[in-house]
């Protein structure tokens, strides 16, 4: 059937003889059925089951095995993996470095996870850092950032960012952000704001110094979510005082800034985030205005507002998408 298609395209003069010959050759070869994803998934499940089973075995027999042995085992895994990675890594470069083989990334991931478990175990069982909880997260964080840059691994970078957040006393991944966070505390809101600004700043330093440019996405992704959520939380926290206006202004300033950048980078993902978060902000202002009207008419106005603005936003998104594609 494919052959018919290309015969037709060739007859219509849309495909050159050279390309047609290539297609012919490709079709002469047998089609290979790729088991790549099946193998990878099975590998992942196998590792999970094995580590889970061994972990349970150790957990149930901890009295006879002893903590020292477990710690040594984890340390051995960690060191072994790092040894492998350092021996097989490609030379450092300021740009993206491809990993030497498909298992390298996973081994590095195992090394970093076991490092975190090791430090956590040490702190939990022996209180190595005493009550300096900051140190217990600060040291792994430095190590993770170093590993992420040294081996050029985006996954580890995300782990490092999450650790930075933990060190500052908050969590950063979107799921935990919404599940566990407690936005009624002022310190938490300010911590989030500082974290968001640090991350966005890191994104721009990455960009302007052209040092590991592809890391920008991770920094900006976490930075934008955290900063927006912190500022919206700040706005609702100081809802009744005048400071709320400052938070609102902050949101609009950030939106303007990210909007410009998203256009420059042609990133529709960030543009969508800007539009949706700003929409939440504007809508909350509007609802606040309407809620003063103690009448059923307020609901009509709000419903009309949402229908109208949402329809407008649909048109806006479609046009922005065209503009980004065209530019």
Binding residues for other proteins restricted to 25-64, rule: CB under 8 A:
26, 30-36, 38-39, 41-43, 45-54, 56-57, 60
| 3-state class (DSSP) for residue 91 | coil
* Chain centroid, CA 297 distance in Å: 43
Tell the smallest beta-carbon distance from residue 289 to other proteins (Å): 12
User: What span, in angstroms and rounded, lies between the C-alpha atoms of 160 and 198?
Assistant: 14
User: Could you count the other beta carbons within 10 Å of the beta carbon of residue 70?
Assistant: 18
Interactions with other proteins, residue window 186-205 (CB under 8 A)? 187-188
Q: Which of 47, 73, 45 is nearest to 59 (CA)?
A: 73
Q: What are the distances in angstroms from CA 8 to CA 2, 11, 55, 243, 307? A: 10, 5, 61, 68, 48
All residues at 6 or more sequence positions from 2 whose CB lies less than 8 Å from its CB, including other chains: 27
Least distance CB 40 / other proteins (angstroms): 9
In angstroms, the Cα distances linking 241 to 235, 247, 282 are 9, 11, 18
CB of 303 to other proteins, least distance (A): 4
For other proteins, which residue of 7, 88, 173, 207 counts as binding (CB under 8 A)?
Answer: 173
Q: What angle do CA 305, 278, 262 make, to 5 degrees?
A: 135
- What is the footprint of other proteins within residues 66-105 (CB under 8 A)? none
Q: Which is nearer to other proteins, 68 or 182 (CB)?
A: 182
Chosen residue from 183, 204, 259, 263 binding other proteins by CB under 8 A: 183
CA neighbor of 222 nearest in space, from 247, 204, 197: 197
Among 185, 205, 252, 323, indicate the residue that binds other proteins (CB under 8 A).
185
The reply to whether 133 sits near other proteins by the rule CB under 8 A is yes
**Which is closer to other proteins, CB of 188 or CB of 193?**
188
**303 contacts other proteins (rule: CB under 8 A):** yes
Q: Which of 70, 78, 111, 136 binds other proteins (CB under 8 A)?
A: 136
162 contacts other proteins (rule: CB under 8 A) = yes
SS3 147: helix
Residue 296 binding other proteins, by CB under 8 A: yes
CB of 307 to other proteins, least distance (A): 5
Report 218-277 residues binding other proteins (CB under 8 A): 218, 221, 229, 232-233, 236-237, 268-269, 272, 275-276
Rule CB under 8 A: choose which of 73, 116, 142, 197 binds other proteins: 116
Candidates 70-78, 193-201, 216-224, 253-261: pick the segment binding other proteins (CB under 8 A): 216-224
Smallest separation (angstroms) from other proteins to the CB of 196: 16
Closest C-alpha to 237, from 229, 21, 150: 229
- Residue from 11, 22, 90, 295 that binds other proteins (CB under 8 A)? 22
Among the candidate windows 71-79, 158-166, 203-211, 255-263, which touches other proteins by CB under 8 A?
158-166
Residue carrying structure tokens 């491809």: 98
Q: Decide: is 313 part of the binding site for other proteins (CB under 8 A).
A: yes
For 280, residues 6+ apart whose C-beta sits below 8 A from its C-beta are: 232
Instruction: Work out which of 73, 89, 107, 181 binds other proteins, going by CB under 8 A.
Output: 181
What the block records as the tokens of 69 is 């042995």
Q: How many residues bind other proteins (CB under 8 A)?
A: 108
Other C-beta atoms closer than 10 Å to the C-beta of 293 total 12
Provide the CA 285 distance to its chain's centre, in angstroms.
29
Enter the DSSP assignment of 96: -
């Amino acid at each position: 059937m494919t052959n018919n298609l290309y015969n037709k395209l060739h007859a219509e003069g849309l495909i050159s003889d050279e390309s047609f010959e290539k297609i012919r050759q490709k079709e002469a070869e047998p089609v290979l059925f790729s088991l790549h994803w099946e193998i990878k998934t099975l590998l992942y499940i196998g590792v999970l089951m094995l580590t889970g089973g061994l972990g349970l075995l150790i957990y149930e027999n901890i009295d006879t095995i002893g903590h020292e042995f477990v710690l040594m085992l984890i340390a051995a895994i960690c060191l072994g993996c790092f040894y492998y990675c350092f021996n097989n890594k490609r030379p450092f470069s300021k740009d993206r470095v491809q990993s030497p083989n498909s298992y390298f990334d996973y081994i590095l991931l195992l090394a970093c996870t076991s490092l975190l478990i090791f430090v956590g175990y040490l702190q939990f069982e022996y209180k190595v850092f005493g009550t300096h909880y900051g140190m217990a997260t600060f040291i792994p964080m430095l190590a993770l950032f170093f590993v992420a840059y040294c081996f050029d691994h985006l996954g580890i970078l995300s782990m490092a960012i999450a650790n930075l957040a933990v060190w500052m006393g908050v969590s950063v991944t979107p799921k935990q952000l919404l599940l566990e966070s407690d936005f009624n505390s002022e310190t938490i809101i300010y911590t989030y704001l500082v974290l968001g600004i640090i991350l966005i700043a890191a994104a721009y330093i990455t960009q302007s110094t052209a040092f590991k440019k592809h890391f920008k996405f991770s920094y900006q992704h976490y930075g934008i979510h955290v900063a927006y959520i912190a500022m919206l939380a700040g706005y609702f926290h100081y809802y009744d005082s005048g400071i709320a206006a400052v938070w609102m202004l902050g949101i609009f300033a950030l939106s303007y800034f990210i909007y410009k950048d998203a256009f420059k980078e042609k990133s529709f993902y960030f543009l969508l985030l800007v539009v949706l978060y700003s929409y939440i902000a504007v809508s909350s202002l509007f609802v606040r205005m309407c809620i003063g009207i103690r009448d059923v008419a307020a609901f009509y106005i709000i419903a009309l507002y949402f229908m109208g603005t949402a329809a407008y936003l649909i048109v806006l998104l479609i046009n922005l998408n065209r503009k980004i594609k065209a530019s």
